Amino acid sequence: MTNSIETLPTPRHTDPADAPPLRWGILAPGVIANDFVDALRAHTRQQVVAVGSRTLERAAAFAARHGFERAYGSYEELVADPDVDVVYVASPHSEHAAHAHLVIAAGKHVLIEKPMAVTAAEARGIAEAARAAGVFAMEAMWTRYLPQTDIARQLLADGMLGEVKVVTADFGGAAAYDPAGRLWAPALAGGALLDIGVYVVSWASFALGAPESVIATGELAPTGVDAQVALVLTSPGGGQALLSTSLLSGTPSLGSISGTAGRIETDSPFWGPSGIRFHGSGGTVLHWADPFGRPYRQGMSYEAAALARYVTDGLTDSPLHPLDEAITTLQTIDEARRQVGYRSAAGGAQ
């Protein structure tokens, strides 16, 4: 077959405001929750109606900032609110499993900030609970729902790259070292892999599926968490992913997918709204730059809109990023952390 094309595929679902509105509750009003609500208010018809925090004062301040009234001084009160359809879990990822189970037990749909859990075993428990309860559960891997990712998805599905052989992705940033901080503390499941490395592993999974082998090397912080990691993943079909993540240095934040007939290269950042370039046969180069004006975390509006469509359609899992894939991504991270010697909060190796 030929991969000669004159235009790139048109991305689908480019307007998050076209999704039917659900009533959202916010569990843990931190920085990312603030950005999530800002994105929903600016670009969707989703309704944020309640927030729960460990203190009523913090919840009330968040509600006042975003213009809604219902604020709760406990997570239990939030998930019990009969007017909440879906809960966004925005707590530190060390708490994701416990909070996801709390939401599911209350019979609510749940969007869990990435990573879905700290380990694959925890993620599997969340998936099993959601399926047993018949509620929708989704990891907030918002990159999967971006317009540029849909272009890549269509190119892959149409065979325009041929057989995928090499995938690359990097995500790094220089973070100030604080042994008690979220990024560095073993008790908070700190480290590069779980915080930002999940993006690069998920990108490889998007292109190649779950790997059959993982090779990882890296540098540990004084606290024992991974400060920097490089990975080589090999798929059952022989394709390889070359990935890196770092809390020590900023990196370009680029992704690529190369096949026997062509390749895709993203603009930066690959994990947020940016752009994509296709290199085809005969020197064809086509570029798409995101025109929608929803930069960086404003792109979280796409995942919320997707969830609203899925729930309205009666689905209990995301067709673009299923729970089983979130689990296998964490299996890869589990193995990488083991290989680099990650030390858990208990003081032992991962």
Average pLDDT over residues 282-300: 94
| Domain-ending residue, one of 142, 158, 180 | 142
Same domain, 105 and 151: no
Same domain, 94 and 162: no
Whether 74 maps to a domain, the answer reads yes
Range of the domain at 39: 16-142
pLDDT of residue 1: 44
Q: Which phi-psi region, left, alpha or beta, contains residue 106 (left: φ > 0; alpha: ψ -120 to 50)?
A: alpha
Q: Give tens-digit pLDDT for 325-344.
A: 999 999 999 999 999 999 76
pLDDT of residue 113: 98
The domain total for the chain is 2
CATH code where residue 160 lies: 3.30.360.10
pLDDT of residue 6: 86
Beta strands in the chain (DSSP E): 23-27, 47-52, 70-72, 86-89, 109-113, 137-140, 164-172, 213-220, 226-234, 240-246, 255-259, 263-266, 275-279, 285-289
pLDDT of residue 346: 43
**CA 145 – CA 344 distance, rounded (Å):** 32
Whether 345 maps to a domain, the answer reads no
Residue 348 has pLDDT above 60, yes or no: no
Same domain, 91 and 199: no
CATH code where residue 100 lies: 3.40.50.720
DSSP 168-194: EEEEE------TTSTTT-GGGT-SHII
**CA 242 – CA 167 distance, rounded (Å):** 6
Whether 348 maps to a domain, the answer reads no
What pTM was computed for the model? 0.95
Beta strands in 14-85 (DSSP E): 23-27, 47-52, 70-72
Whether 64 maps to a domain, the answer reads yes
Q: What percent of the chain has pLDDT over 70?
A: 97
Same domain, 208 and 100: no
pLDDT of residue 335: 97
| Domain-ending residue, one of 102, 122, 142 | 142
Same domain, 33 and 78: yes
Same domain, 185 and 241: yes
Q: Minimal CA–CA distance to 40: which of 54, 52, 53, 26?
A: 26
- Which pair of tokens denotes residue 272? 């947020």
Whether 131 maps to a domain, the answer reads yes
Q: Give tens-digit pLDDT for 39-85.
A: 999 999 999 999 999 999 999 999 999 999 899 999 999 999 999 99
Average pLDDT over residues 173-182: 96
Whether 53 maps to a domain, the answer reads yes
Average pLDDT over residues 100-108: 98
**CA 56 – CA 343 distance, rounded (Å):** 35
pLDDT band at 307 (very low <50, low <70, confident <90, very high): very high
Q: Are 169 and 270 in contact (CB under 8 A)?
A: yes
Average pLDDT over residues 276-300: 94
Residue 7 has pLDDT above 70, yes or no: yes
Whether 43 maps to a domain, the answer reads yes
Residue showing tokens 């790094």: 172
pLDDT of residue 344: 67
Q: Please report, in angstroms and rounded to a whole number, the separation of the first and last CA atoms in the chain.
A: 47
Q: Give tens-digit pLDDT for 128-140.
A: 999 999 999 999 9
Same domain, 262 and 190: yes
Same domain, 131 and 153: no
pLDDT of residue 282: 80
Q: Are 141 and 114 in contact (CB under 8 A)?
A: yes
Same domain, 71 and 81: yes
Mean pLDDT of the chain: 95
Same domain, 69 and 49: yes
Whether 229 maps to a domain, the answer reads yes
- Which pair of tokens denotes residue 285? 């180069």
Same domain, 231 and 137: no
Neighbours of 159 (CB within 10 A): 13
Neighbours of 18 (CB within 10 A): 12
Q: Identify the bridge partners of residue 243 per DSSP, sorted by sequence position.
A: 169, 231
Q: How much of the chain is helix, strand and coil, in % rounded to 5?
A: 40, 25, 40
Same domain, 108 and 149: no
| Domain-ending residue, one of 142, 162, 190 | 142
Q: Which residue has the higher pLDDT, 2 or 252?
A: 252
